[in-house]
Amino acid sequence: MIYTPELFEEARQIIDARRLDAEAAREARDRAFDAEEPDYRRWRLQRAKAAQNVVKALDMPTVDDAKAYLEKLMQENLAAQEEIKRLLDRHGLPENHLEVHYTCPKCEDTGSVGTEICDCMVEVLRDLAFREAAKKSPLRFCEFEDFDLKYYSDEYLPEYGCSAKERMRQIYTICRQYADEFDPRSENLFLSGPTGLGKTHLSLAIAGEVIRKGYTVLYNSAQNLFAELNREYFGKPEDRGQYESLVLGCDLLVIDDLGVEFSSAFSRAELYNIINTRLNTRRPTIISSNLTLKGIEEAYSQRISSRLIGDYLQLQFIGADVRQKKAAE
């Protein structure tokens, strides 16, 4: 993925802050233990002195003298370390209590290992990129607790074998369980039905819960999603692929209002690529639409509707427009 210099600089500041915090915490533990254990200072100074005296080996008259001197210093250093471990054990503290506890032991919070960027830096860059992408999304979280079944009728509907309220209670339960049990291998959901029945509300409620669990979520309307992908694809070469990588790589992708946007060859190709790629990499997607599966096939393609039929859990919303009922109150 391509990242801007601004994101790199922000990521660098985050990694540097982690290192400084870890080193400051070690110094605080060192001072506290020094105040608590009177024998600690003597062994700490002996260890430091042994390290400082290493340069004296350079002035030794022979190589053998230098080796013997370095061996002596090493033994003194090991002895000091063992005594410090003994003191820590006496206080019920682990052996590494006085060491620096880095967030990433692999790179020791430097952001790189040799000439390669460390995985921790890549993770920070990815999180920052998702944050920037979220700013461009109409992401206003709705809570499950705000979803009120009183707006759905109790009237039995023979064509569905239940009332609108019963169907929506079932859908609510499924969505709530989906959010509670979410992991990056959760199934895909297709929320369909007329406008104003709560598809956006429940998909946003799921997104909010999943984000609170620490997963990366990208939410956007189909119209804005394809517009952003189109802008990126036909824009500056250095920007190409960044937003698409977020769309394809996030833990959960939520596409709202599919079918409202202007359908084009580009959007149809992108939609198929998104659905197919995320299925192949087993990353869950939630799609909501006012269209039926037949409408999806007519607006996009049989290949896309086939993926939705075979690989998505179908949740068909029924009832009268809830937004209109709320507005009439």
Encode pLDDT of 163-216 as tens digits. Answer: 999 999 999 999 999 999 999 899 999 999 998 899 999 998 998 888 888 788
pLDDT tens profile 250-274: 899 999 999 888 778 998 999 999 9
Q: Which of 154, 129, 110 is closest to 14 using CA atoms? A: 110
- Is it the case that residue 301 has pLDDT exceeding 60? yes
- pLDDT of residue 140 exceeding 80, the answer is no
Contact 163, 156 (CB under 8 A): yes
- 227: phi then psi, degrees, rounded to nearest 5: -65, -40
Mean residue pLDDT of the chain comes to 87
* Structural domains of the chain sorted by starting position, each given as residue range(s) with its CATH number in brackets: 5-121 (no CATH), 136-328 (3.40.50.300)
Give the Cα separation of 218 and 255 in Å (integer): 8
CA 89 to chain centre: 38
SS3 state at 193: coil
Report d(CA 317, CA 82) in Å as an integer: 68
Task: Using pLDDT thresholds of 50, 70 and 90, give the confidence band for residue 135.
Answer: low
pLDDT digits 0-9 by tens, 57-79: 777 888 887 888 788 888 888 88
Q: Does pLDDT of 95 surpass 70?
A: yes
Query: Residue 243 pairs with which residues in a beta bridge?
Result: none
Q: Give residue 133's pLDDT.
A: 60
Is residue 203 within 8 A of residue 256, CB to CB? The reply is yes
Q: What is the pLDDT of residue 75?
A: 87
Q: How many residues does the chain have?
A: 329
* Token code pair at residue 74: 């090493």
**In angstroms, what CA-CA distances link 36 with 33, 39, 44, 90?**
5, 9, 14, 12
The pLDDT > 70 percentage for the chain reads: 92
The alpha carbon of residue 39 and the mean position of all alpha carbons in its chain are separated, in whole angstroms, by 46
Residue holding tokens 């390290």?
51
Question: Which of the two residues, 233 and 145, has the higher pLDDT score?
Answer: 145
The C-alpha atoms of residue 14 and residue 217 are separated, in whole angstroms, by 21
In this structure, which amino acid lies at residue 73?
L
Whether residue 329 has pLDDT greater than 60: yes
pLDDT for 3 equals 62
Distance CA 20, CA 307 (A): 49
- 152 closest CA partner among 324, 321, 301: 321
| H or E stretch at 49 | helix 40-52
CB 167 within 8 A of CB 194: no
Determine how β-strand 162-163 pairs with β-strand 217-221: unpaired
Side-chain-side CA neighbours of 27 within 13 Å: the count stands at: 6
Is it the case that residue 47 has pLDDT exceeding 90?
no
Give CA–CA dist 203/197, Å, rounded.
12
For the chain, give the percent of residues with pLDDT over 90.
48
- DSSP-derived letter for residue 194 is S
